[in-house]
């Protein structure tokens, strides 16, 4: 392919357009697709700190603190990291 001032040569441009001229996206190629109902999947949201009841501090480290928390009858360790 030869470029002439940023454009394709006329002969190559004609070849490219004629190669695609016979193609039609609605041509009957056996691809008749019927629309099926879309099944929606619920996306779980991330937990919020307001959902936890902080009970007591467990440990303290260089990067932050760890607390014992309760949510829905289960116990969790919640790490609070220092910003920065």
What confidence score (pLDDT) does residue 17 get? 52
On whether the CB atoms of residues 2 and 9 are closer than 8 A, the answer is: yes
pTM: 0.48
**For 37-64, what is the mean pLDDT?**
93
The Cα–Cα gap between 32 and 21 comes to 22
Residue at 38 is within a domain? no
pLDDT(26) > 80: no
* pLDDT value, residue 51: 94
Residues, the chain, total? 84
- Asked if the structure places residue 66 within a domain, the reply is yes
Q: Is the pLDDT of residue 76 over 60?
A: yes
Task: Check residue 3 and give its pLDDT.
Answer: 47
- Mean local confidence (pLDDT), 50-73: 95
- pLDDT given at position 82: 84
Domain count, the chain: 1
CATH of the domain at 55: 3.30.200.20
CA dihedral (11, 12, 18, 23) in degrees, to 10, reads 180
């Amino acid at each position: 392919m030869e470029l002439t001032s940023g454009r394709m040569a006329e002969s190559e441009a004609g070849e490219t357009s004629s190669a695609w001229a016979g193609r039609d996206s609605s041509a009957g190629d056996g691809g008749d697709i019927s629309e099926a109902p879309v099944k929606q999947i619920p996306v779980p949201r991330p937990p919020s700190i307001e959902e936890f009841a902080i009970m007591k501090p467990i440990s303290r480290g260089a990067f932050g603190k760890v607390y014992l928390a309760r949510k829905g009858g289960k116990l969790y360790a919640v790490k609070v990291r220092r910003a920065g």
